[in-house]
Structure 1
């Protein structure tokens, strides 16, 4: 029996006996993961294959360099992940669904024995994801369905590179690899916001280090412009989120809250159009406004980015030492959730005060 198959059977047993997930959902997850593993081939084999296109070969060689950099410079796990390649024949590895009540920014959670409770739910089939999304909409919830190019099995399997990641440019490919390997470095159950913000912080710090050491002039020039757009987009969405939170926490009747929500969404659209004009018509965030960002969009952004400034502040307090950073984050992870959140909030506040006093303008987070 292949080692990965034994692990898959063990994982299925664990999922099945707990009753935390439906048989259908577990079945699609098993089938999807098995497909990924079955299609994976050693990268050296793919590079030697005459049928491999030059573009794919170049991206695979770049991915090999990025993996080596992640191990050497970012102190991320040195294992068999990203030593193989799988072409899934589709644009995304998974499709995730985030859903919230219509007057709340708190995402609905799905709970599993290994990963714990997650603020999103993933499907390997776009049709099944769409079906689940429609079922949540039928309950009156706000829903955000989006494609996922890469994911981590948290060390249960040796994650291969996928065609869904190679289609991106160098910058995104680097960040995806650093982000997913960071999940193998540290992951705690029942706290998606902590896990995703930690991985995003490693991704950003890692990419900036890669850019400084390995990046070309064009990439170094493009990065600040891209970060300025991300920062502007994040500020706009954070403003909208704060307005929605105030409305939902108020004592207004639900009808009045719904009306205020619609107006805030319209204001966000106007704000985005103004940003696009400043950017010379850049279209990179249009998908968020088709037709408009709802509560689930806001919840997804918060999961990945709300705590990022705190993690980056901690990293810089430790002089940019990745090993020391991981140790400090593990110590944070040992606290209960309330204590973790309190410690991260203090780190973020200190970072904001420091930036204000020193007039710093370097971006500290990145939107998707």
Structure 2
């Protein structure tokens, strides 16, 4: 048994096992919640929440990797058979490693996605309103209002607004190609970034449970508490362009149900801000100047987009950045911890296999 435990990578202990435990914890909570919800409702809603944990994008990554590995294995076997050197065991190890990573990534994605859905359905509306008004009051005390409104009025209808909103709404379209790119450039940085992404979701879930806060959009525009006749402070006037309106409708479709029985309470800390910083830190560790410069610009737009879109308060964004930095650092320490016990085969050996086919330029 001890030898078996030493053969499991840190992802199993730090991500897969905790995500399964948290899932069952939220399942028990949902069963005993006043707001009863069926499994059918959960899975239907989870369909609309694919953006939360990159379910669609995650599948795209692995479809690409499986296709690439498949092509490389065929080439590899053809080359070896021509040389009359049969090395099938290596191909088998590569397939096993990619299969293992695919399985535990999908297990985490599904269990965390369902846990988030349970939380959004089961959380007490009274607690949500209490904490949201507290954060709203704190935001106004610090900034003298909602900072996003001034920016919206300034950039409304401009190309800058389109870039900000597109960057924010499509963060995962950047994250997924980046993950594949990191796989070719540096396996350890790939692992740290991948671990940090899931670890941020895992640790944020208890925080969202303790401090459930909805977005300014849900509070003031969607008015999820309008049936409770709650007196809200005036948010302030702002110009809503067609671009802003289309993104607003998109966010409402994902995060808020028509009858307001389901709404996102994942505002503080902002995972979007955290993920953006995790991506940037991964790029910085590669030490590629052009990539670092490009992603630094992207990072600014993504960070501003978190509160410009009214999906977060500015406070959420700041705490999200601090959270993201801490998570990326923690992911690195977990990988260091793995070196002290791990005695198994490399679960990520398929990246080394892909590396065999890189084009190498001769030294001049």
Q: Whose strand fraction is larger, Structure 1's or Structure 2's?
A: 1
TM-score by shorter chain over 0.5: no
Q: TM-score, normalised by structure 2?
A: 0.30
Q: TM-score, normalised by structure 1?
A: 0.29
| Structure number with higher relative contact order (C-alpha < 8 Å, ≥ 6 residues apart) | 2
- Name the larger-Rg structure: 2
Q: Whose helix fraction is larger, Structure 1's or Structure 2's?
A: 2
